[in-house]
Chains A and B, each alone.
Chain A
Amino acid sequence: MTDDDALVADMRRLLEFLEAGPPVLVEGTADRLLAGQLDPADAPAGYAGLARLLAAATAPAAPEELAGGQLVMAEFAAMAPSHPPTPSLRRANVLSKLASVKAVAAVLAAVLSIGGVAAAATGRLPGQAQRAADQAPSTTGAAAAGHGLGQAAVADLGAAAKTGLCRAWQAGKSGDHGRRADSPAFRALAVAAGGADNVAAYCTDVAAGGSADSQGRAAAVGPDAMAAARAGLCQAWQSGQGADNGRREDSVAFQALAAAAGGAEKVDAFCQDTTAGSAGSQGKAPSSTPSTTVSPPSSGPPASTGQGGHGQGGPPTTSG
Protein backbone atom coordinates (compact mmCIF):
# COMPACT_ATOMS: atom_id res chain seq x y z
CA MET A 1 0.00 0.00 0.00
CA THR A 2 2.85 2.37 0.76
CA ASP A 3 4.34 1.50 -2.60
CA ASP A 4 1.08 2.43 -4.19
CA ASP A 5 0.91 5.74 -2.37
CA ALA A 6 4.44 6.56 -3.38
CA LEU A 7 3.58 5.68 -6.94
CA VAL A 8 0.59 8.00 -6.87
CA ALA A 9 2.67 10.86 -5.56
CA ASP A 10 5.38 10.26 -8.15
CA MET A 11 2.92 10.04 -10.96
CA ARG A 12 1.23 13.22 -9.87
CA ARG A 13 4.50 15.15 -9.84
CA LEU A 14 5.34 13.74 -13.22
CA LEU A 15 2.00 14.79 -14.57
CA GLU A 16 2.50 18.31 -13.29
CA PHE A 17 5.77 18.55 -15.17
CA LEU A 18 4.90 16.78 -18.35
CA GLU A 19 1.43 17.99 -19.16
CA ALA A 20 0.16 21.47 -19.56
CA GLY A 21 -3.48 21.96 -18.72
CA PRO A 22 -5.68 21.92 -15.67
CA PRO A 23 -4.01 21.47 -12.30
CA VAL A 24 -3.69 17.93 -10.99
CA LEU A 25 -6.63 16.99 -8.79
CA VAL A 26 -6.41 16.52 -5.08
CA GLU A 27 -7.22 12.91 -4.26
CA GLY A 28 -10.48 13.68 -2.45
CA THR A 29 -11.69 15.87 -5.28
CA ALA A 30 -11.02 13.15 -7.81
CA ASP A 31 -12.98 10.67 -5.73
CA ARG A 32 -15.89 13.04 -5.43
CA LEU A 33 -15.87 13.66 -9.17
CA LEU A 34 -15.75 9.94 -9.90
CA ALA A 35 -18.54 9.24 -7.45
CA GLY A 36 -20.71 11.93 -8.99
CA GLN A 37 -20.72 13.94 -5.77
CA LEU A 38 -19.21 17.10 -7.16
CA ASP A 39 -21.58 19.68 -8.58
CA PRO A 40 -20.22 21.29 -11.76
CA ALA A 41 -20.61 24.67 -10.05
CA ASP A 42 -18.25 23.58 -7.24
CA ALA A 43 -15.67 22.00 -9.53
CA PRO A 44 -12.11 23.31 -9.25
CA ALA A 45 -10.77 25.60 -11.97
CA GLY A 46 -10.45 23.74 -15.22
CA TYR A 47 -12.78 20.91 -14.20
CA ALA A 48 -16.26 22.37 -14.72
CA GLY A 49 -16.51 20.83 -18.18
CA LEU A 50 -15.43 17.47 -16.83
CA ALA A 51 -18.02 17.62 -14.06
CA ARG A 52 -20.66 18.24 -16.71
CA LEU A 53 -19.39 15.33 -18.74
CA LEU A 54 -19.62 13.02 -15.75
CA ALA A 55 -23.13 14.27 -14.95
CA ALA A 56 -24.20 13.59 -18.54
CA ALA A 57 -22.61 10.13 -18.43
CA THR A 58 -24.63 9.22 -15.35
CA ALA A 59 -27.94 10.79 -16.37
CA PRO A 60 -31.08 8.74 -15.63
CA ALA A 61 -31.65 5.74 -17.89
CA ALA A 62 -33.32 6.35 -21.22
CA PRO A 63 -35.99 3.93 -22.46
CA GLU A 64 -33.74 2.77 -25.30
CA GLU A 65 -31.20 1.59 -22.77
CA LEU A 66 -33.76 -0.86 -21.43
CA ALA A 67 -34.86 -2.04 -24.85
CA GLY A 68 -33.06 -5.38 -24.71
CA GLY A 69 -35.13 -6.63 -21.80
CA GLN A 70 -37.32 -8.96 -23.79
CA LEU A 71 -34.40 -10.97 -25.08
CA VAL A 72 -32.71 -11.22 -21.70
CA MET A 73 -35.92 -12.21 -19.92
CA ALA A 74 -36.61 -14.85 -22.56
CA GLU A 75 -33.14 -16.23 -21.97
CA PHE A 76 -33.78 -16.24 -18.25
CA ALA A 77 -37.07 -18.09 -18.73
CA ALA A 78 -35.36 -20.60 -21.00
CA MET A 79 -32.73 -21.25 -18.37
CA ALA A 80 -35.31 -21.61 -15.61
CA PRO A 81 -36.04 -25.36 -16.10
CA SER A 82 -32.51 -26.12 -15.00
CA HIS A 83 -33.31 -24.37 -11.74
CA PRO A 84 -35.61 -25.94 -9.15
CA PRO A 85 -39.32 -25.75 -10.10
CA THR A 86 -40.26 -22.14 -10.66
CA PRO A 87 -41.44 -20.86 -7.30
CA SER A 88 -43.97 -18.51 -8.82
CA LEU A 89 -45.71 -21.45 -10.49
CA ARG A 90 -45.70 -23.57 -7.38
CA ARG A 91 -47.02 -20.78 -5.22
CA ALA A 92 -49.66 -19.88 -7.74
CA ASN A 93 -51.03 -23.40 -7.31
CA VAL A 94 -50.94 -23.18 -3.55
CA LEU A 95 -52.63 -19.82 -3.73
CA SER A 96 -55.41 -21.05 -5.97
CA LYS A 97 -56.15 -23.86 -3.53
CA LEU A 98 -55.91 -22.00 -0.30
CA ALA A 99 -56.54 -18.34 -0.86
CA SER A 100 -59.93 -16.76 -1.07
CA VAL A 101 -61.38 -16.24 -4.51
CA LYS A 102 -61.16 -12.54 -3.94
CA ALA A 103 -57.42 -12.60 -3.37
CA VAL A 104 -56.79 -14.70 -6.46
CA ALA A 105 -58.90 -12.39 -8.57
CA ALA A 106 -56.95 -9.41 -7.29
CA VAL A 107 -53.57 -11.04 -8.00
CA LEU A 108 -54.69 -12.05 -11.46
CA ALA A 109 -55.91 -8.53 -12.08
CA ALA A 110 -52.54 -7.20 -11.01
CA VAL A 111 -50.68 -9.61 -13.29
CA LEU A 112 -52.90 -8.71 -16.22
CA SER A 113 -52.42 -5.03 -15.69
CA ILE A 114 -48.65 -5.43 -15.67
CA GLY A 115 -49.08 -7.38 -18.88
CA GLY A 116 -51.00 -4.40 -20.17
CA VAL A 117 -47.99 -2.20 -19.59
CA ALA A 118 -45.85 -4.57 -21.61
CA ALA A 119 -48.44 -4.87 -24.32
CA ALA A 120 -48.77 -1.14 -24.64
CA ALA A 121 -45.04 -0.78 -24.90
CA THR A 122 -44.75 -3.26 -27.71
CA GLY A 123 -47.82 -2.07 -29.50
CA ARG A 124 -49.84 -5.20 -28.86
CA LEU A 125 -53.43 -4.91 -27.85
CA PRO A 126 -54.29 -5.54 -24.21
CA GLY A 127 -56.66 -8.28 -25.36
CA GLN A 128 -53.78 -10.29 -26.74
CA ALA A 129 -51.85 -9.99 -23.54
CA GLN A 130 -54.94 -11.01 -21.65
CA ARG A 131 -55.51 -14.10 -23.79
CA ALA A 132 -51.93 -15.15 -23.28
CA ALA A 133 -52.22 -14.52 -19.58
CA ASP A 134 -55.38 -16.61 -19.42
CA GLN A 135 -53.54 -19.56 -20.86
CA ALA A 136 -50.66 -19.47 -18.42
CA PRO A 137 -51.30 -16.88 -15.78
CA SER A 138 -48.16 -16.88 -13.72
CA THR A 139 -45.42 -17.55 -16.23
CA THR A 140 -46.82 -15.24 -18.85
CA GLY A 141 -47.52 -12.62 -16.26
CA ALA A 142 -44.00 -12.75 -14.94
CA ALA A 143 -42.49 -12.64 -18.40
CA ALA A 144 -44.78 -9.79 -19.32
CA ALA A 145 -43.81 -8.01 -16.14
CA GLY A 146 -40.14 -8.32 -16.90
CA HIS A 147 -40.83 -7.30 -20.43
CA GLY A 148 -42.87 -4.36 -19.28
CA LEU A 149 -40.19 -3.29 -16.85
CA GLY A 150 -37.75 -3.15 -19.67
CA GLN A 151 -39.78 -1.87 -22.56
CA ALA A 152 -41.82 0.77 -20.86
CA ALA A 153 -39.22 1.73 -18.29
CA VAL A 154 -41.81 1.83 -15.57
CA ALA A 155 -39.93 1.76 -12.32
CA ASP A 156 -42.86 1.32 -10.04
CA LEU A 157 -45.84 -0.90 -10.25
CA GLY A 158 -48.63 0.59 -12.25
CA ALA A 159 -51.47 2.06 -10.25
CA ALA A 160 -53.76 -0.83 -11.11
CA ALA A 161 -51.15 -3.45 -10.29
CA LYS A 162 -50.44 -1.70 -7.03
CA THR A 163 -54.09 -1.67 -6.08
CA GLY A 164 -54.49 -5.32 -6.99
CA LEU A 165 -51.45 -6.47 -5.08
CA CYS A 166 -52.40 -4.44 -2.04
CA ARG A 167 -55.89 -5.92 -2.10
CA ALA A 168 -54.45 -9.42 -2.28
CA TRP A 169 -52.15 -8.64 0.58
CA GLN A 170 -54.88 -7.13 2.69
CA ALA A 171 -57.33 -9.92 1.88
CA GLY A 172 -54.86 -12.46 3.17
CA LYS A 173 -54.23 -10.72 6.43
CA SER A 174 -56.37 -13.09 8.45
CA GLY A 175 -54.83 -16.17 6.89
CA ASP A 176 -51.13 -16.65 6.40
CA HIS A 177 -51.07 -17.22 2.66
CA GLY A 178 -52.13 -13.87 1.29
CA ARG A 179 -49.22 -11.98 2.68
CA ARG A 180 -46.56 -14.62 2.54
CA ALA A 181 -43.41 -12.63 2.50
CA ASP A 182 -41.73 -14.99 0.09
CA SER A 183 -44.34 -14.97 -2.65
CA PRO A 184 -43.29 -13.25 -5.88
CA ALA A 185 -46.28 -10.96 -5.75
CA PHE A 186 -45.41 -9.84 -2.26
CA ARG A 187 -41.81 -9.27 -3.23
CA ALA A 188 -42.88 -7.08 -6.10
CA LEU A 189 -45.03 -5.18 -3.64
CA ALA A 190 -42.18 -4.93 -1.14
CA VAL A 191 -39.85 -3.57 -3.81
CA ALA A 192 -42.42 -0.97 -4.80
CA ALA A 193 -43.01 -0.04 -1.17
CA GLY A 194 -39.30 0.27 -0.49
CA GLY A 195 -39.09 -2.69 1.86
CA ALA A 196 -41.24 -5.38 3.42
CA ASP A 197 -41.75 -3.29 6.53
CA ASN A 198 -43.28 -0.48 4.53
CA VAL A 199 -45.95 -2.52 2.80
CA ALA A 200 -48.68 -1.87 5.35
CA ALA A 201 -48.20 1.89 5.17
CA TYR A 202 -47.80 1.77 1.41
CA CYS A 203 -51.04 -0.14 0.96
CA THR A 204 -52.89 2.20 3.28
CA ASP A 205 -51.85 5.06 1.03
CA VAL A 206 -52.98 3.14 -2.00
CA ALA A 207 -56.33 2.27 -0.49
CA ALA A 208 -56.90 5.88 0.55
CA GLY A 209 -55.67 7.47 -2.64
CA GLY A 210 -56.56 4.72 -5.06
CA SER A 211 -59.38 4.57 -7.51
CA ALA A 212 -62.93 4.87 -6.28
CA ASP A 213 -63.76 1.62 -7.98
CA SER A 214 -64.07 -0.79 -5.08
CA GLN A 215 -63.93 -3.86 -7.29
CA GLY A 216 -60.46 -3.24 -8.60
CA ARG A 217 -60.62 -6.20 -10.90
CA ALA A 218 -62.54 -4.66 -13.75
CA ALA A 219 -60.47 -1.53 -13.57
CA ALA A 220 -57.22 -3.43 -13.63
CA VAL A 221 -57.92 -5.45 -16.75
CA GLY A 222 -59.68 -2.58 -18.45
CA PRO A 223 -58.76 1.00 -19.11
CA ASP A 224 -56.66 1.38 -15.96
CA ALA A 225 -54.00 -0.94 -17.31
CA MET A 226 -53.68 1.33 -20.31
CA ALA A 227 -53.62 4.41 -18.11
CA ALA A 228 -50.79 2.95 -16.07
CA ALA A 229 -48.85 2.05 -19.19
CA ARG A 230 -49.50 5.46 -20.68
CA ALA A 231 -48.35 7.27 -17.59
CA GLY A 232 -45.22 5.13 -17.46
CA LEU A 233 -44.37 5.81 -21.08
CA CYS A 234 -45.04 9.49 -20.71
CA GLN A 235 -42.83 9.72 -17.66
CA ALA A 236 -40.06 7.91 -19.46
CA TRP A 237 -40.47 10.24 -22.41
CA GLN A 238 -40.56 13.39 -20.35
CA SER A 239 -37.60 12.40 -18.23
CA GLY A 240 -35.60 12.12 -21.41
CA GLN A 241 -36.38 15.61 -22.65
CA GLY A 242 -33.35 17.72 -23.20
CA ALA A 243 -31.13 14.73 -23.73
CA ASP A 244 -30.83 13.41 -27.24
CA ASN A 245 -31.46 9.81 -26.33
CA GLY A 246 -34.47 10.01 -24.06
CA ARG A 247 -37.02 10.86 -26.66
CA ARG A 248 -35.67 9.11 -29.68
CA GLU A 249 -38.55 8.75 -31.97
CA ASP A 250 -37.48 5.39 -33.30
CA SER A 251 -37.59 3.59 -29.97
CA VAL A 252 -40.25 0.95 -29.55
CA ALA A 253 -41.62 2.66 -26.49
CA PHE A 254 -41.88 5.99 -28.23
CA GLN A 255 -43.63 4.44 -31.19
CA ALA A 256 -46.22 2.91 -28.90
CA LEU A 257 -46.64 6.29 -27.25
CA ALA A 258 -46.95 8.07 -30.57
CA ALA A 259 -49.55 5.56 -31.71
CA ALA A 260 -51.56 6.14 -28.55
CA ALA A 261 -51.26 9.90 -28.91
CA GLY A 262 -52.33 9.77 -32.55
CA GLY A 263 -49.04 11.01 -33.95
CA ALA A 264 -45.52 11.85 -32.88
CA GLU A 265 -46.19 15.57 -32.80
CA LYS A 266 -49.11 15.06 -30.41
CA VAL A 267 -47.13 13.25 -27.75
CA ASP A 268 -46.34 16.41 -25.83
CA ALA A 269 -49.99 17.38 -25.40
CA PHE A 270 -51.01 13.78 -24.80
CA CYS A 271 -48.50 13.37 -22.02
CA GLN A 272 -49.44 16.67 -20.46
CA ASP A 273 -52.98 15.38 -20.08
CA THR A 274 -51.82 12.04 -18.81
CA THR A 275 -49.46 13.27 -16.18
CA ALA A 276 -51.86 15.94 -15.01
CA GLY A 277 -54.67 13.42 -14.82
CA SER A 278 -52.83 10.68 -13.00
CA ALA A 279 -50.46 12.66 -10.84
CA GLY A 280 -49.67 10.77 -7.71
CA SER A 281 -50.91 7.45 -8.86
CA GLN A 282 -47.80 6.46 -10.70
CA GLY A 283 -45.11 6.85 -8.13
CA LYS A 284 -41.65 8.12 -8.75
CA ALA A 285 -39.63 8.92 -11.82
CA PRO A 286 -39.26 5.95 -14.08
CA SER A 287 -35.58 5.46 -14.04
CA SER A 288 -33.04 4.74 -11.44
CA THR A 289 -29.44 5.52 -12.15
CA PRO A 290 -27.18 2.88 -10.73
CA SER A 291 -24.17 5.03 -11.37
CA THR A 292 -25.31 7.95 -9.28
CA THR A 293 -25.49 5.78 -6.25
CA VAL A 294 -22.43 6.28 -4.18
CA SER A 295 -20.50 3.31 -3.08
CA PRO A 296 -17.95 3.33 -0.32
CA PRO A 297 -14.48 3.66 -1.84
CA SER A 298 -13.57 0.31 -0.44
CA SER A 299 -16.01 -2.04 1.18
CA GLY A 300 -13.48 -4.46 2.52
CA PRO A 301 -12.68 -7.83 1.09
CA PRO A 302 -15.68 -9.39 -0.60
CA ALA A 303 -17.27 -12.29 1.17
CA SER A 304 -16.86 -14.85 -1.52
CA THR A 305 -16.65 -13.40 -4.96
CA GLY A 306 -13.55 -15.44 -5.51
CA GLN A 307 -15.36 -17.08 -8.34
CA GLY A 308 -16.18 -13.79 -9.97
CA GLY A 309 -13.46 -11.53 -8.70
CA HIS A 310 -10.94 -12.33 -11.33
CA GLY A 311 -13.20 -14.30 -13.48
CA GLN A 312 -11.71 -17.75 -13.04
CA GLY A 313 -14.93 -19.29 -11.88
CA GLY A 314 -17.11 -16.51 -13.13
CA PRO A 315 -19.57 -16.54 -15.94
CA PRO A 316 -18.43 -18.79 -18.76
CA THR A 317 -17.08 -17.21 -21.88
CA THR A 318 -19.87 -17.80 -24.27
CA SER A 319 -19.64 -15.12 -26.87
CA GLY A 320 -17.90 -17.23 -29.46
Chain B
Amino acid sequence: MIGPSFPGLLAAAQGGDEQAFAVLWRELQPAVLRYLRVAAPAAAEDLAADTWISVIRGLGRFRGDEQNFRTWVFTAARHRAIDWRRQAARRPAASVSVELLADRSAPDDPAEAVLEAQSTRAALALLAELPADQAEVVALRVLGGLGVAEVARIVGKRPGAVRVLAHRGLRRLAKRLEAVGLERGVTR
Protein backbone atom coordinates (compact mmCIF):
# COMPACT_ATOMS: atom_id res chain seq x y z
CA MET B 1 0.00 0.00 0.00
CA ILE B 2 1.20 3.51 -0.79
CA GLY B 3 -0.61 5.01 2.21
CA PRO B 4 -0.97 8.68 3.10
CA SER B 5 0.81 9.95 0.00
CA PHE B 6 -1.71 8.21 -2.29
CA PRO B 7 -4.14 11.13 -2.78
CA GLY B 8 -1.30 13.46 -3.75
CA LEU B 9 0.20 10.91 -6.13
CA LEU B 10 -3.16 10.21 -7.72
CA ALA B 11 -3.89 13.91 -8.21
CA ALA B 12 -0.45 14.43 -9.73
CA ALA B 13 -0.83 11.44 -12.04
CA GLN B 14 -4.23 12.72 -13.11
CA GLY B 15 -2.54 16.01 -13.94
CA GLY B 16 -0.08 14.21 -16.21
CA ASP B 17 2.88 13.80 -13.84
CA GLU B 18 4.85 10.82 -15.12
CA GLN B 19 6.80 10.21 -11.95
CA ALA B 20 3.66 10.07 -9.87
CA PHE B 21 2.08 7.65 -12.31
CA ALA B 22 5.25 5.53 -12.27
CA VAL B 23 4.88 5.13 -8.51
CA LEU B 24 1.27 3.98 -8.89
CA TRP B 25 2.22 1.59 -11.68
CA ARG B 26 5.09 0.13 -9.77
CA GLU B 27 2.95 -0.47 -6.71
CA LEU B 28 0.26 -2.42 -8.56
CA GLN B 29 1.91 -3.91 -11.64
CA PRO B 30 3.36 -7.06 -10.00
CA ALA B 31 0.00 -7.93 -8.45
CA VAL B 32 -1.88 -7.22 -11.68
CA LEU B 33 0.53 -9.35 -13.70
CA ARG B 34 0.28 -12.23 -11.23
CA TYR B 35 -3.49 -12.04 -11.21
CA LEU B 36 -3.44 -12.26 -15.01
CA ARG B 37 -1.04 -15.19 -14.92
CA VAL B 38 -3.84 -16.97 -13.08
CA ALA B 39 -6.79 -15.61 -15.04
CA ALA B 40 -5.26 -15.73 -18.55
CA PRO B 41 -1.87 -17.44 -18.29
CA ALA B 42 -1.01 -17.43 -21.99
CA ALA B 43 -1.46 -13.68 -22.43
CA ALA B 44 -0.67 -12.21 -19.01
CA GLU B 45 2.02 -9.72 -20.08
CA ASP B 46 0.01 -8.32 -22.98
CA LEU B 47 -3.13 -8.10 -20.91
CA ALA B 48 -1.28 -6.32 -18.11
CA ALA B 49 -0.13 -3.69 -20.61
CA ASP B 50 -3.70 -3.43 -21.96
CA THR B 51 -4.96 -3.04 -18.42
CA TRP B 52 -2.65 -0.11 -17.80
CA ILE B 53 -3.58 1.51 -21.08
CA SER B 54 -7.23 1.42 -20.12
CA VAL B 55 -6.32 2.72 -16.66
CA ILE B 56 -4.42 5.61 -18.25
CA ARG B 57 -7.41 6.42 -20.46
CA GLY B 58 -9.83 6.39 -17.54
CA LEU B 59 -7.52 7.93 -14.96
CA GLY B 60 -8.86 11.46 -15.28
CA ARG B 61 -12.34 10.29 -14.37
CA PHE B 62 -11.39 8.13 -11.41
CA ARG B 63 -12.47 9.29 -7.96
CA GLY B 64 -11.75 7.40 -4.77
CA ASP B 65 -9.18 6.28 -2.24
CA GLU B 66 -6.35 3.80 -2.60
CA GLN B 67 -8.50 0.75 -1.95
CA ASN B 68 -11.00 2.00 -4.53
CA PHE B 69 -8.12 2.48 -6.96
CA ARG B 70 -6.91 -1.08 -6.47
CA THR B 71 -10.42 -2.36 -6.97
CA TRP B 72 -10.76 -0.27 -10.11
CA VAL B 73 -7.46 -1.45 -11.59
CA PHE B 74 -8.29 -5.11 -10.92
CA THR B 75 -11.73 -4.60 -12.44
CA ALA B 76 -9.99 -3.41 -15.60
CA ALA B 77 -7.60 -6.39 -15.50
CA ARG B 78 -10.50 -8.79 -15.11
CA HIS B 79 -12.27 -7.29 -18.12
CA ARG B 80 -9.15 -7.80 -20.19
CA ALA B 81 -8.93 -11.42 -19.04
CA ILE B 82 -12.60 -12.08 -19.79
CA ASP B 83 -12.30 -10.52 -23.26
CA TRP B 84 -9.24 -12.61 -23.94
CA ARG B 85 -10.85 -15.84 -22.81
CA ARG B 86 -13.86 -15.11 -24.96
CA GLN B 87 -11.65 -14.58 -27.99
CA ALA B 88 -9.54 -17.62 -27.16
CA ALA B 89 -12.67 -19.76 -27.02
CA ARG B 90 -13.55 -18.65 -30.54
CA ARG B 91 -10.12 -19.49 -31.87
CA PRO B 92 -9.76 -23.09 -33.10
CA ALA B 93 -6.43 -23.72 -31.38
CA ALA B 94 -7.65 -23.20 -27.85
CA SER B 95 -5.03 -23.50 -25.16
CA VAL B 96 -4.66 -26.90 -23.59
CA SER B 97 -2.13 -25.70 -21.07
CA VAL B 98 -4.50 -26.05 -18.15
CA GLU B 99 -5.01 -29.72 -18.83
CA LEU B 100 -1.29 -30.20 -19.24
CA LEU B 101 -0.57 -28.45 -15.97
CA ALA B 102 -3.12 -30.59 -14.20
CA ASP B 103 -1.23 -33.73 -15.08
CA ARG B 104 0.16 -34.65 -11.72
CA SER B 105 2.60 -37.15 -13.04
CA ALA B 106 4.37 -34.52 -15.12
CA PRO B 107 8.02 -34.32 -14.09
CA ASP B 108 7.82 -30.57 -13.54
CA ASP B 109 4.71 -30.62 -11.39
CA PRO B 110 4.18 -27.05 -10.14
CA ALA B 111 3.18 -28.47 -6.75
CA GLU B 112 6.70 -29.77 -6.30
CA ALA B 113 8.20 -26.48 -7.45
CA VAL B 114 6.06 -24.68 -4.89
CA LEU B 115 6.94 -26.97 -2.01
CA GLU B 116 10.62 -27.30 -2.82
CA ALA B 117 11.59 -24.00 -4.38
CA GLN B 118 8.85 -21.58 -3.30
CA SER B 119 8.48 -20.72 -6.96
CA THR B 120 6.10 -17.84 -7.57
CA ARG B 121 5.37 -18.90 -11.13
CA ALA B 122 4.56 -22.44 -10.01
CA ALA B 123 2.28 -21.09 -7.28
CA LEU B 124 0.41 -19.06 -9.89
CA ALA B 125 0.21 -22.09 -12.18
CA LEU B 126 -1.40 -24.06 -9.34
CA LEU B 127 -3.91 -21.28 -8.71
CA ALA B 128 -4.71 -21.37 -12.43
CA GLU B 129 -5.56 -25.08 -12.16
CA LEU B 130 -8.56 -24.27 -10.01
CA PRO B 131 -12.02 -23.98 -11.57
CA ALA B 132 -12.17 -20.48 -13.05
CA ASP B 133 -14.56 -18.96 -10.51
CA GLN B 134 -12.53 -20.25 -7.56
CA ALA B 135 -9.22 -19.23 -9.12
CA GLU B 136 -10.50 -15.74 -9.74
CA VAL B 137 -11.70 -15.17 -6.19
CA VAL B 138 -8.61 -16.63 -4.54
CA ALA B 139 -6.32 -14.67 -6.86
CA LEU B 140 -8.09 -11.37 -6.24
CA ARG B 141 -8.03 -11.87 -2.50
CA VAL B 142 -4.46 -13.16 -2.22
CA LEU B 143 -2.69 -11.36 -5.04
CA GLY B 144 -4.83 -8.25 -5.23
CA GLY B 145 -4.85 -7.81 -1.46
CA LEU B 146 -8.57 -7.15 -1.69
CA GLY B 147 -11.26 -7.85 0.90
CA VAL B 148 -14.41 -9.90 0.48
CA ALA B 149 -16.52 -6.81 -0.23
CA GLU B 150 -14.18 -5.53 -2.94
CA VAL B 151 -13.90 -8.92 -4.61
CA ALA B 152 -17.67 -9.35 -4.48
CA ARG B 153 -18.04 -6.02 -6.26
CA ILE B 154 -15.45 -6.92 -8.90
CA VAL B 155 -16.88 -10.33 -9.78
CA GLY B 156 -20.50 -9.28 -9.38
CA LYS B 157 -21.32 -11.91 -6.75
CA ARG B 158 -22.61 -11.73 -3.20
CA PRO B 159 -20.06 -11.67 -0.36
CA GLY B 160 -21.27 -15.07 0.87
CA ALA B 161 -20.71 -16.62 -2.52
CA VAL B 162 -17.22 -15.11 -2.65
CA ARG B 163 -16.42 -16.65 0.74
CA VAL B 164 -17.63 -20.06 -0.38
CA LEU B 165 -15.60 -19.92 -3.59
CA ALA B 166 -12.48 -18.88 -1.68
CA HIS B 167 -12.97 -21.72 0.82
CA ARG B 168 -13.44 -24.28 -1.88
CA GLY B 169 -10.42 -23.04 -3.77
CA LEU B 170 -8.18 -23.07 -0.70
CA ARG B 171 -9.31 -26.51 0.28
CA ARG B 172 -8.78 -27.92 -3.18
CA LEU B 173 -5.28 -26.47 -3.31
CA ALA B 174 -4.48 -27.78 0.15
CA LYS B 175 -5.56 -31.24 -0.92
CA ARG B 176 -3.51 -31.06 -4.08
CA LEU B 177 -0.38 -29.96 -2.24
CA GLU B 178 -0.87 -32.40 0.59
CA ALA B 179 -0.95 -35.33 -1.82
CA VAL B 180 2.31 -34.27 -3.44
CA GLY B 181 3.86 -33.35 -0.12
CA LEU B 182 3.18 -36.73 1.47
CA GLU B 183 4.45 -38.48 -1.61
CA ARG B 184 7.63 -36.49 -1.60
CA GLY B 185 7.94 -36.15 2.15
CA VAL B 186 8.54 -32.44 1.94
CA THR B 187 5.72 -31.13 4.09
CA ARG B 188 6.71 -30.21 7.56
**At the interface, yes or no: A291 with Cβ under 8 Å from chain B?**
yes
State the CA gap A87–B9 with chains docked (Å).
Answer: 13
**At the interface, yes or no: B61 with Cβ under 8 Å from chain A?**
yes
**At the interface, yes or no: B39 with Cβ under 8 Å from chain A?**
no
Contact A308 B30 (CB under 8 A): no
State the CA gap A88–B147 with chains docked (Å).
Answer: 36
- Beyond the given pairs A4-B163, A149-B23, A287-B30, 13 more chain A to chain B contacts, judged by CB atoms under 8 angstroms and listed by A's residue number, are A21-B178, A47-B174, A49-B180, A58-B142, A72-B29, A244-B120, A293-B1, A295-B70, A305-B153, A308-B75, A310-B153, A315-B58, A316-B58
Contact A61 B30 (CB under 8 A): yes
State the CA gap A163–B85 with chains docked (Å).
Answer: 48
State the CA gap A305–B70 with chains docked (Å).
Answer: 11
Q: What are 23 inter-chain pairs, A to B, with CB distance below 8 A?
A: A4-B159, A8-B164, A15-B167, A15-B171, A22-B174, A24-B171, A49-B111, A49-B180, A57-B127, A68-B33, A75-B53, A79-B56, A87-B16, A87-B17, A187-B5, A296-B147, A298-B150, A305-B68, A305-B72, A309-B75, A314-B58, A314-B79, A319-B83
Chain B interface: which size bin? Answer: 35 or more
**At the interface, yes or no: A56 with Cβ under 8 Å from chain B?**
yes
Question: Residue on B with the closest CB to A69?
Answer: B25
Contact A145 B145 (CB under 8 A): no
**At the interface, yes or no: B101 with Cβ under 8 Å from chain A?**
no
Residue from B80, B167, B173 in contact with A319 in the complex, judged by beta carbons closer than 8 Å: B80
Q: Which of B22-37 contact A (CB under 8 A)?
A: 22-23, 25-31, 33-34
Question: Residue on A with the closest CB to B61?
Answer: A307
Residues on B lying within 8 angstroms of A by beta carbon are 1, 3-5, 8-9, 12, 14-23, 25-31, 33-34, 45, 47-58, 60-65, 67-68, 70-72, 75-76, 79-80, 83-84, 111, 113-115, 117-124, 126-127, 138, 141-150, 153, 156, 158-161, 163-164, 166-168, 170-171, 173-175, 177-178, 180-181, 187-188
Residue from B33, B141, B167, B187 in contact with A25 in the complex, judged by beta carbons closer than 8 Å: B167
| A contact residues around B178 at 8 Å (CB) | 21-22, 46, 49
Residue from A35, A41, A289, A307 in contact with B62 in the complex, judged by beta carbons closer than 8 Å: A307
**At the interface, yes or no: A284 with Cβ under 8 Å from chain B?**
no
Report the minimal beta-carbon distance from A16 to chain B, rounded to whole angstroms. 10
For chain A, the count of residues having a C-beta within 8 Å of the partner chain is: 105
State the CA gap A318–B53 with chains docked (Å).
Answer: 8
**At the interface, yes or no: A83 with Cβ under 8 Å from chain B?**
yes
